[in-house]
Amino acid sequence: MPLAERVEQLLATDGPLPIVAAGDPVLRQPAEPYDGQLEPALLARFVRALRVTMHAAPGVGLAAPQVGVPLRIAVIEDPAPVPEEVRLARGRVPLAFRVLVNPAYEPVGAARAGFFEGCLSVPGWQAVVARPTRVRLTGSDADGRCVDEVLAGWPARIVQHETDHLDGVLYVDRAELRSLSANHTVAERWAQPTPVAAARELGFDLPE
């Protein structure tokens, strides 16, 4: 089925789109570069639906393959309503809504940090992922304008997580598997600003 037709079918009903769960092959295949497969009005409707779905989940990012559409498009947004100590430890600052089209990233510097991550396509679980703390993001926005900028902290982590989806990579592929924890366990035991206690008690290493 042509991608435009698939998107039209998805948008036939109002409300959030169904989110694809881990185990579906669409999450394990590199997404097709976006090159006008959706005409502008349909692209705009699709982006709005991705944003509605992201908010409803709720999450801070959503990639097109997560709703069954193998295109290199993602949306990100993070109001970052966190305590000051979390902001400082994780570099979690507000990230305005934006659309990433054909994004790619590369590390800037050697610094890495490990924090718990979750994923809307792997519901109920979180695990610690060590990622570069600064990345260079390239690609374009929904209007075709070039993007080339450096992001740090939590915005850099969100960009890496969502771009990975477009490459068929889930966060669990990069995770410290000994850290894998149910959401309620993270909330009850590991809700500290950093996962130092989790690393000590569960037996995994964090970047120095």
User: Residue 61: which pLDDT band, with cuts at 50, 70 and 90?
Assistant: very high
Token pair, residue 62, equals 């959503």
Tell me what pLDDT residue 173 has: 98
Tell me what pLDDT residue 25 has: 98
**Above 80 in pLDDT, residue 1?**
no
3 state SS of 14:
coil
Tell me what pLDDT residue 37 has: 96
162 is catalytic: yes
- Angstrom distance (rounded) from CA 127 to CA 117: 6
**Above 90 in pLDDT, residue 17?**
yes
Contacts of 74-81 with CB under 8 Å at 24 or more apart are 74/50, 74/99, 74/100, 74/103, 74/162, 74/163, 74/165, 74/166, 75/47, 75/50, 75/51, 75/99, 75/100, 76/100, 76/155, 76/158, 76/159, 76/162, 77/51, 78/154, 78/155, 78/158, 80/154
Tell me what pLDDT residue 13 has: 86
Q: What is the mean pLDDT of residues 24-51?
A: 97
Q: Among candidates 46, 94, 67, 61, which has minimal Cα distance to 163?
A: 61
User: Active-site residue among 8, 117, 149, 162?
Assistant: 162
User: Residue 87: which pLDDT band, with cuts at 50, 70 and 90?
Assistant: very high
- Angstrom distance (rounded) from CA 65 to CA 43: 15
**Above 90 in pLDDT, residue 202?**
yes
Tell me what pLDDT residue 27 has: 98
Q: What is the mean pLDDT of residues 2-30?
A: 95
pTM for the full predicted model = 0.96
